[in-house]
């Protein structure tokens, strides 16, 4: 297994929609294993393929933050088929949006359909924290960052700060 580089905003790849997984082979399984190792090392509770520059629709997540290895889940081609209610994801953060956290309005419950890493169909009913994690990661494979779901003012302030940091880095 290998640790992968996590792309960060404003990398344009983060805005690309991932393509469906059609072939589960050794290369795909190696990518999944590397994603899992990278997620735990970061540390994070989830990682989407687009965050590591892979254009296949894959998410890995562990809402227990590694405390319960049975909580690790791999989903291929995840899709939200039903969403209900509203919850505020307080202080949401992202490995691809470093040094920024914000409240995000999310659905309180979801039904997600996907394939497991063997290609078997799965249906997950999720509420509250798990629903938030799933929405966040599924957004990634659809080319959406959590900052796309916050107020325009907060988003613009973050973008300006990053542009300033990048410009200062170029000036050195």
Q: Give mean pLDDT, residues 80-86.
A: 97
Categorise residue 30: left if φ over 0, alpha if ψ from -120 to 50, beta otherwise: alpha
Whether 127 is a known active-site residue: answer no
Residue 42 scores a pLDDT above 60: yes
Structural domain range at position 162: 12-171
The whole-number pLDDT of residue 132 equals: 97
The whole-number pLDDT of residue 66 equals: 64
Q: What is the CATH number of the domain that holds 68?
A: 3.90.45.10
Q: Give mean pLDDT, residues 112-127.
A: 98
The closest of 120, 103, 121, 104 to 112, measured between CA atoms, is 121
Does residue 21 fall inside a structural domain?
Answer: yes
> Would you mind telling me the total number of residues written for the chain in this entry?
172
- Where residue 168 falls among pLDDT bands split at 50, 70, 90? confident
Question: Which tens digits make up the pLDDT trace of 14-30?
Answer: 999 999 999 999 999 99
User: How far is residue 142 from each of residues 18, 23, 129, measured CA to CA in Å?
Assistant: 6, 19, 20
- Where residue 171 falls among pLDDT bands split at 50, 70, 90? low
Strand positions, DSSP E, 85-146: 87-94, 97-106, 109-115, 121-127
Domain count, the chain: 1
Residue 172 scores a pLDDT above 60: no
Q: Give mean pLDDT, residues 112-136.
A: 97
State yes or no: cis peptide before 71, omega within 30 of 0: no
Does residue 2 fall inside a structural domain?
Answer: no
Please pick, among 90, 113, 137, 156, the residue that the annotation labels catalytic: 137
Does residue 6 fall inside a structural domain?
Answer: no
Judge contact between 51 and 7, C-beta under 8 A: yes
Integer Cα distance of 59 and 72 in angstroms = 11
Task: Specify the residue for token string 């990278």.
Answer: 38
Does residue 3 fall inside a structural domain?
Answer: no
Average pLDDT for the chain: 94
């Amino acid at each position: 297994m290998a640790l992968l580089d996590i792309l960060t905003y404003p990398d344009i790849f983060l805005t690309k929609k991932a393509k469906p997984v059609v072939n589960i082979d050794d290369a795909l399984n190696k990518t999944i294993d590397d994603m899992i190792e990278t997620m735990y090392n970061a540390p994070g509770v989830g990682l989407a393929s687009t965050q590591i520059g892979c254009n296949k629709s894959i998410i890995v997540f562990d809402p227990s933050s590694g405390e319960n290895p049975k909580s690790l889940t791999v989903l291929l081609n995840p899709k939200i088929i039903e969403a209900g209610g509203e919850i505020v994801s307080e202080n949401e953060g992202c490995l691809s949006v470093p040094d920024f956290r914000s409240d995000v309005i999310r659905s309180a419950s979801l039904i997600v359909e996907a394939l497991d890493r063997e290609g078997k169909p799965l249906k997950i009913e999720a509420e509250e924290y798990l629903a938030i994690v799933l929405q966040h990661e599924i957004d990634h494979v659809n080319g959406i960052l959590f900052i796309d779901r916050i107020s325009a003012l907060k988003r613009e302030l973050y973008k300006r700060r990053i542009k300033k940091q990048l410009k200062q880095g170029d000036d050195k």
